[in-house]
A and B are shown apart, each in its own frame.
Chain A
């Protein structure tokens, strides 16, 4: 019986069977026999999360533009489905043609979150493929991985053949070309990997040796031969207007997390928050022209039919004339009953008016992310939000009928004092006061959420220690006790242990690959899902592999320590990061790239707004 029939026999007995049927609007159909390369795009989470990922959609359609390639998709099956598949002997399959993954030429993973590392291994396991790169010979799929997590690829180094560092639109095509040469000749896998390492943006971990000092820090990272580059430089596309963007975008049949058209209006962020990894790795800032955005918006509506377009970027307000662009889209969107959503908008009176006009949302919610409770700490992290601005915007928002205010903060930032924690309480209290003054009758809700600071590679805070679990707990309690005193405030906080593991995995080195494998053996998967995450299993895995997790999370590192991700070159220099870190210690801010060049080093890419400078 073919895989498809076997799968369909399971669908009456699983949760949300719509995850496993493919068949979506604009799904690409090809004859697998008539292509040279079969590519399985794997997302290490469930369908509803994966199908909300813009990177997946860009690369899926880009690859399928090529006649010689068929790109299909596979997601992590939910546990009920996993059990049924194992019982029936069905291996992980693609949604386009229900082909089991071991039959593909290339398996590409999208790594957007460290917590999905166990799922990556689980997906290989469900495919019956050897986990380790070295155990997969010619004739078995090549496993590649891309996405923001590859900026520290080391924890998965044993399992992935080639990491793609940076934006994949160009590199992936070069890898395909090389793969064809490999597939249709007697080239060995080793030779293939060597040639891959020659493609800019490709990191082949097997071609590097890592040595350690007695204290556990890294002594050296060195290529195994002269032909392998000593550093891997990220790839970017220089011009968003000429680069590929799909307008006949695959549109799910079932509701997914972000159930809307996502249209990218620019890449990169000019702001330079010191904790933010995205702000570094996606540099330089490159805008897509409003002419292109408008054209894409129209085509997307015609081809997908969605009732919402989301204009995405890291900081929407920084798009030149965002008002004008949004209103232009509104002109044709309005009478087709299409909403426009503008996430990550900086809130002030003009943007409020814009929001009111374009976002016809059910319960208007305003979201602020001041990240820290006091001006001093906001200066430390270079978050350019003034408390007075929050208050004046909130006042205007209340007057315009907004009833829900969401506030996002981080606890455990470097240089944080209890005073800063209490500053969060003060902000919530003052917002409630403003509402009281206005004497409105409607109920309001102020939601305060805190996450815990996770030091990330390639940021000015990459050397910092994370708070201990005890400290996290204490600060959360302190805030919780105080917020209880304020009416209409709800407080939620992020899981301590999850933040801890995130810190460990994001700054991990090669020794963690064994731990991750052990964790999977002990039953870890879907770690970002509260109902599955079990830190005790992880602790057990660390213990069995004789690795101390505190070494990765709770330890402050010195500026001259060799970091596991030093092998990756983002264009932003280590000197710049160090300078920024020292400025943070003095609570001195740095201006945005729009005001003046901060000399981060990424201008060497000669793209985006760096060019005229």
Chain B
């Protein structure tokens, strides 16, 4: 049987923003099962449904619009959005569902981070950013260093109602990108400034369609 690949657009906010990427996949698998929708599964000992998030979401990330694609062994009815939104936990909402005939890739994305920090946060942050900083990450003994401005197109730091709001415009280069949380962590370590993240939001993602 020909499998149908569907593209689900959804938003995520508190409290569901604290679900990990793996748990998101499991959650949607369960919801599909509850709605009695047959998904296409991988073969082998441990079959998995073919649900792919275009951009994996780190724990804590809120987003206006995200996408996952899923292969179904049946056609979805028009009531699918309504049915999903009836049973989704608070914070998750399906916005749009379409049949995926093409492939999409991420081009660039906009973030907003809200942090609790001292008054002069922005001053020091600007100073830090002027030094063409890098992000060092250690994974299984291997250290990778990324230059922030290889990925960062622009940023802005401002004070909004007691909190600091930092906006980032991040480019995806060869499928790789940097996370705003990592920039903030790098900064707070180097400057020894305590900054408590209270919200990270992906405001917009631009995609390019490929055939």
Which residues of A does B touch, CB under 8 Å? 8-9, 11-13, 17-18, 20-25, 251, 253-255, 301-307, 335-338, 360-363
Contacts and interface: CB of A to CB of B under 8 A. Distances in A.
A13 B33 CA distance: 33
A25 B30 contact: yes
Contact of A23 (B33, B90, B197): B90
A338 B14 CA distance: 30
Given A301-B33, A305-B29, A307-B29, A23 B15 contact: yes
Nearest to A304: B30
A337 B26 CA distance: 13
A25 B31 CA distance: 10
Contacts of B196: 9, 12-13
Given A18-B59, A24-B89, A25-B87, A255 B30 contact: no
Is the interface on chain B under 10, 10 to 19, 20 to 34, or 35 or more residues?
20 to 34
Nearest to B31: A305
A22 B18 CA distance: 10
Contacts of B60: 11-12, 17
B34 A12 contact: no
A12 B30 contact: no
Contacts of A21: 14-16, 18
Residue in B30, B45, B46, B200 with the greatest tally of chain A CB atoms within 10 Å: B30
A12 B194 CA distance: 13
Interface of B: 14-16, 18-20, 22-23, 26-27, 29-34, 38-39, 41, 45-47, 49, 59-60, 87, 89-91, 116, 196-198, 200
Given A13-B197, A22-B15, 20 more contacts: A8-B14, A9-B198, A12-B60, A13-B196, A17-B59, A18-B59, A21-B14, A21-B16, A23-B89, A253-B23, A253-B27, A255-B23, A301-B33, A305-B30, A305-B31, A305-B34, A337-B47, A337-B49, A338-B33, A362-B46
A303 to B, nearest CB: 7
Interface of B is mostly: mixed
The list of the 5 closest CB pairs from A to B, nearest first, reads: A305-B30, A21-B15, A305-B34, A305-B33, A17-B18
A27 to B, nearest CB: 8
A2 to B, nearest CB: 13
A253 B16 CA distance: 9
A276 to B, nearest CB: 34
B202 to A, nearest CB: 15
25 contacts: A9-B196, A11-B18, A11-B60, A12-B60, A12-B197, A12-B198, A17-B18, A17-B59, A21-B16, A22-B15, A23-B16, A23-B89, A23-B90, A25-B87, A253-B23, A303-B34, A304-B34, A305-B29, A305-B31, A306-B30, A335-B38, A337-B39, A337-B49, A361-B45, A362-B45
